[in-house]
Amino acid sequence: MKKLGLYVHIPFCRSKCLYCDFCSFPNRAESDFTAYVDALCRDLRTTAARCTAHTVETVYFGGGTPTLLPPTLLNRILSEIFACYRVSPDAEITLECNPATATKQAFSELREAGFNRISIGLQSADERELRALGRLHSFADFERTFREAREAGFSNISADVMLGIPHQTKESHLQTLAALAALAPEHISAYGLTVESDTPFGKMGDRLVLPDEETSREMYFEGAQLLEKLGYRQYEISNFAKTGYESRHNLKYWNCEEYLGFGPAAYSDFGGTRFGNSRDLSAYLEGKSILAESESPSLGERAEEYIMLRLRLAEGVDCQAFANRFGFDFDAKFGKTLRKYVFGGFVKHTQNKWALTREGFYVSNTILSELLDFSS
């Protein structure tokens, strides 16, 4: 049996955060939610015919804000997946959620239906930073939502925080991490803010004042050290987990395994082809194809992608596994370039493996661009 991950996109939010470039539509009527779930279920059913040789190991409902949909609708989508796909009994089934968008009762119904992991968008515990991002919730909302998910039986909870927020200081970031860790989530993602041109932040130009480079660097390193001290292992550039709670779904992306995405702006990598949908929600609701791009990468392109993604992981690239997969010697091709970085403390070379250190993670774009230039 081949292994598969499913990603289900729920493109609705209460309002639009000021930095958000995700495919999400604010203020939609509840009738749109039902129509969207109808369209998703049709799509899931049709696509299932291509997956008879696959076992689904992970399911991820992302957004948007999936929990804007009532549990009955979310559970309907999950039931459709159980009915049409072979889902492993120990599958990781994640639901993204924003603070104050789900109650304890809703979490209980979702847990009962089979969701077993919750990922909550916190971003910051500082009220001024939350307002600067255009988030609608407070830290107290997050705490309540977290506790209610726990009380409803979720024993695997992740939270997202952000680095590089307007007004953020190293101290406020460390306070956010400490306040979050006090609730003992199993997993923490800590991503840097990216300013996309097509967002209110992107249009602010010089009026958007962000922490300077030195502060951002301190936040990254001291934040990672604090999380490590609190029992969270950094297993990826931006992700930390207690032992055994790494995100199995995201590991599929970083390990270049097969996944299928459903809904507007969802991407897939399946049967040797990468393909992606447009953001056209109306066409999707009408049951039209929204396939916008599709390509079948060469083995060389696959190898580059693998290197880029695997070097995001603390585990790095195993030369034997690489040779088995791509048929050439990683060390012979890239060892000379990487060795240069070993001396600076950016890269580790142990036995048959190459991996970036935390210092290397911080400058990974530079290292990767040199490596991949080298390969061309």
Binding site residues, ligand SF4, CB under 6 A: 13, 16-17, 20, 22, 24, 63-65, 98, 121
Question: What's the min distance (Å) between Cβ of 53 and ligand SF4?
Answer: 34
Do 248 and 57 form a contact (C-beta atoms < 8 A)? yes
In whole angstroms, how far apart are CA 218 and each of 162, 215, 265, 314? Answer: 14, 5, 34, 20
Indicate the residue among 261 and 360 with the shorter CB distance to ligand SF4: 261
Nearer to ligand SF4, 98 or 268 (CB): 98
Three-state SS at 63: strand
Smaller CB separation from ligand SF4, 63 or 316: 63
For residues 263 and 261, what is the distance between their CA atoms, to the nearest angstrom?
A: 7
Q: Quick one: 208 or 256, whose CB is closer to ligand SF4?
A: 208
d(CA 284, CA 272): 24
Q: Minimum distance between the CB of residue 170 and ligand SF4, rounded to whole angstroms?
A: 23
Residue 13 or 87 having the CB closest to ligand SF4: 13
Shortest distance in whole angstroms from residue 63 CB to ligand SF4: 5
> Which CB sits closer to ligand SF4, 22 or 362?
22
- Interhelix angle 299-310/364-375, rounded to 10 degrees, is 160
**Closer to ligand SF4 by Cβ: residue 20 or 87:** 20
Q: Which two tokens stand for residue 60?
A: 């991820």
Smallest distance from ligand SF4 to CB 235, Å: 23
Distances (CA, A) of 249 to 18, 74, 234, 253: 27, 18, 16, 7
Query: How long a stretch of residues is the chain?
Result: 376
63 vs 185, beta carbon nearer ligand SF4: 63
- Name the minimum Å distance from CB 121 to ligand SF4: 6
Closest approach, Cβ 85 to ligand SF4, in A, equals: 26
Least distance to ligand SF4, CB of residue 335, Å: 40
Residue 178: in which H helix or E strand, if any? helix 170-181
Phi first, then psi: give them for residue 318, nearest 5 degrees: -95, 120
Across the chain, the runs of DSSP E, i.e. the strands, are 2-10, 12-13, 25-26, 54-63, 86-97, 117-123, 157-163, 187-192, 233-236, 239-241, 259-262, 267-270, 273-277, 291-295, 317-318, 347-350, 353-356
Strand partners, 259: 5, 269
Smallest distance, Å, CB 15 to ligand SF4? 7
